[in-house]
Structure 1
Amino acid sequence: MSDPRPFAERKADVLARLAAPVADCWVATAGGDEPYLVPLTLAWVEERIILATDRRSPTARNIAASGRARVGLGPTRDVVLIEAVLDETIPVTESGAVGETYAKRNDWDPRTAGDSYVFLALKPVKIQAWREVNELPGRLLMRDGAWVTR
């Protein structure tokens, strides 16, 4: 087991993962008592997580109803866990720079998927990151939408 990363390195690693091309993630939502988990690809645009999905999907419906989602990136020994709130829902037909940026960073363009697709712009409110048990004590990087300062 390697030494725990310093806070600045851990934050830089999280930002690099979010900004990476074709950043795959798991998105957890709930509709009533029904949890729902789906793999999606994100784009990090203006400090928001941008997801693309059909507006009729359980993910879009659950986020619209609750205003919340949990996003996970990475394998079990290099976890980034993000709690986020819905900032806005953007129809792909009206997405402008958000749609352009998403398409440039990913391997598909949701704007070609039909007008039932939307971009869900999520604002992170809590971010945690850790690799091994020795990084658990310093895993909190963002609280209440603001980066923790160390």
Structure 2
Amino acid sequence: MAIELSDSTISKMVDQLISKGNNFAETESEQKLRNTKALLQNFWLLGNHLDIKMPTVDEDVPLSKYEISLYSLLGYRVRTKEMLEFVTAIIDRYGELCKQGTFEDERRYEVIKKLYLVDRRLTRIQLADQYDVDEKTIRRDERKAINELSIMIFGIDALNDVSKTRRMTVHK
């Protein structure tokens, strides 16, 4: 049983599919970029996750459901530790690169560090006062640093996401 569609109906359907595809791509790209921001925002919590003592599991006894859960938690902990070590190395390298660049490059690194990574974190307003710039400048520094860190952490996929987000912003 074939369904007959008019040209205008087909055109509307195609337009809706394209629109939904663009919205999906935009949302997906933004989420990937936000992952770097979420990683930075939760960096100290992830570090503290590693500082909490875990119960031990006796390997000679058959595993109970409780012990299987502990093994799962230990797996989370190992992945967290590996990721934090990698991200810390990336952030350190980013800092080195920024310190070799312009004053603005170095400020971008300091903004990320002071917003997310130090014990006594500062607000954007405090940073704007400290650097004698507008809060919008601090936000631009933050955004650019997060994009750059995303590329360093996620490689070419992050570069593609950054360019997709920019293209969509320009075309709106």
- Based on CA coordinates, which of the two structures has the bigger radius of gyration? 2
Give the alignment's TM-score, normalised by structure 1. Answer: 0.30
With CA pairs under 8 Å and 6+ residues apart, which has the higher RCO, 1 or 2?
2
The structure with the greater share of residues assigned to helix is 2
Give the alignment's TM-score, normalised by structure 2. Answer: 0.27
The structure with the greater share of residues assigned to strand is 1
